[in-house]
């Protein structure tokens, strides 16, 4: 039996608690908000909310704080995206305006987002997705060491070096390079592995082991998913309010350094309204992040590549502002990377 007003009460509890980080009581609510009812009435509503486990009282006689479930209801039903201020908008433009390559763009983006939200910001590298192979380059680095560079039409460069036996005379390398480019040029990454089949047959049997070695490495490069890498900024923001984490911030810092965890978390998040995904408090318990919330959106770049961008912070965070920031930056990033 959670009435409309009760939900309004929940909203202001979340807002006030997030702002003041102190349990909010009935009296302070009627003082700060024009509900037109008395404190006793608010208390009644609060009792209902507590029954629904949307709020909880830390001790018998203190104000209430939202539960994770309360935050969830707030985010789903009560929170408006707070539009970015003109200053924030401006910051996005000027911050991301000039950048020379993908690394630079993502680095700036993640720093910007962390500044806008005062949280830890995360940006996943776009997966290679539907890119096509533009060029394969073989560069001898030494008598037995070969660098293999794979360039796609979306401008990604994958490199790897391998040790080989047998000498690498330029002429032969040129032949291999030409053959590889003829076979692979223009192919989607997904099809590249198949196209590499049997390529060794085109060469003298003495060379087979070398070719196989090169082809194996190329296979790995094609399969390697850039999307499994992410950039991060603003870890210091976690330490600003260590009280938000019951024990210590150490596990959180560890989890965000262990990127694998975050990538799995990103992967499991389902988009909700406004193209945003949210995962709140205990919903992240499986990742050792039970006291943090993650807000994520997606962005795409020219090659149809898709990746995620988001922020991570204490459950007690400013959702309306942060959700708006994530969405705005994600959109801007899509625009920036999409246009050729």
Partner DNA sequence: AATTGGCAGTCCTGTATGTGGAGTGCCAGA
Partner DNA sequence: TCTGGCACTCCACATACAGGACTGCCAATT
Q: Which does 249 bind (CB under 5 to 8 A by kind): a second copy, DNA, none?
A: a second copy
Contact 55, 296 (CB under 8 A): no
Q: Which does 130 bind (CB under 5 to 8 A by kind): a second copy, DNA, none?
A: none
**Pairwise CA distance, residues 209 & 232, whole Å:** 41
Select 11 or 226, whichever has its Cβ closest to a second copy. 226
Among 2, 7, 50, 111, binds DNA (CB under 7 A): 50
Using CB under 7 A, which of the segments 55-63, 175-183, 307-315, 323-331 binds DNA? 55-63
Q: Which does 49 bind (CB under 5 to 8 A by kind): a second copy, DNA, none?
A: none
Contact 124, 263 (CB under 8 A): yes
The distance of Cα 11 from the centroid of its chain, to the nearest Å, equals 27
Task: Give contact residues for a second copy (rule: CB under 8 A).
Answer: 100-101, 134-135, 137, 139, 141-145, 147, 149, 151, 153-155, 157, 159-162, 233-236, 239-240, 242, 248-251, 253-254, 257, 302, 340
**Pairwise CA distance, residues 142 & 328, whole Å:** 48
Element at 7 (helix H, strand E)? helix 4-20
Q: Which does 327 bind (CB under 5 to 8 A by kind): DNA, a second copy, none?
A: none
Contact 78, 14 (CB under 8 A): yes
Residues numbered 13-42 forming contacts with DNA, rule: CB under 7 A: 23-28, 36-41
SS3 65: strand
SS3 311: strand
Min CB(46)–a second copy separation in Å: 34
Q: Which does 62 bind (CB under 5 to 8 A by kind): DNA, a second copy, none?
A: DNA
Q: What is the phi-psi region of residue 339: left when phi exceeds 0, alpha when psi lies from -120 to 50, beta otherwise?
A: beta
Using CB under 7 A, which of the segments 57-65, 122-130, 146-154, 195-203 binds DNA? 57-65
């Amino acid at each position: 039996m959670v009435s409309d007003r009760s939900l309004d009460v929940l909203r202001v509890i979340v807002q006030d608690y997030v702002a003041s980080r102190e349990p909010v009581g009935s009296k302070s609510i009627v003082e700060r908000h024009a509900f037109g009812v008395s404190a006793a009435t608010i208390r009644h509503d609060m009792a209902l909310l507590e029954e629904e486990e949307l709020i909880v009282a830390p001790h018998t006689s203190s104000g209430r704080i939202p539960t994770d479930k309360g935050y969830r209801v707030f985010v789903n039903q009560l929170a408006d995206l707070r539009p970015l201020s003109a200053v924030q908008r401006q910051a996005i433009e000027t911050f991301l305006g000039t950048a020379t390559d993908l690394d630079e763009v993502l680095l700036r983006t993640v720093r910007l987002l962390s500044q806008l939200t005062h949280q830890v910001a995360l940006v996943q590298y776009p997966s290679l997705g539907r890119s096509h192979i533009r060029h394969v380059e073989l560069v001898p680095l030494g008598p037995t060491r070969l660098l293999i560079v794979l360039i796609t039409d979306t401008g990604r460069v994958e490199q790897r070096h391998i040790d080989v036996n047998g000498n690498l005379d330029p002429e032969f390398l040129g032949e291999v390079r030409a053959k590889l480019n003829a076979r692979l040029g223009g192919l989607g990454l997904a099809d590249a592995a198949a196209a590499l089949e049997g390529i060794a047959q085109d060469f003298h049997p003495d060379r087979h082991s070398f070719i196989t070695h090169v082809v194996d490495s190329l296979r790995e490069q094609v399969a390697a998913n850039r999307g499994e890498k992410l950039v991060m900024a603003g870890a210091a923001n976690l330490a600003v309010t260590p009280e938000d984490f019951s024990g210590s911030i150490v596990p959180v810092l560890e989890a965000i350094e262990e990127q694998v965890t975050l990538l799995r978390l990103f992967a499991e998040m389902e988009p909700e309204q406004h193209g945003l995904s949210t995962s709140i408090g205990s919903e992240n318990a499986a990742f050792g992040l039970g006291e943090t919330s993650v807000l994520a959106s997606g962005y795409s770049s020219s090659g149809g590549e898709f990746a995620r961008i988001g922020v991570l912070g204490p459950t007690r965070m400013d959702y309306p502002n942060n959700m708006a920031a994530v969405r705005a930056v994600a959109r801007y990033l899509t625009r920036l990377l999409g246009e050729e």
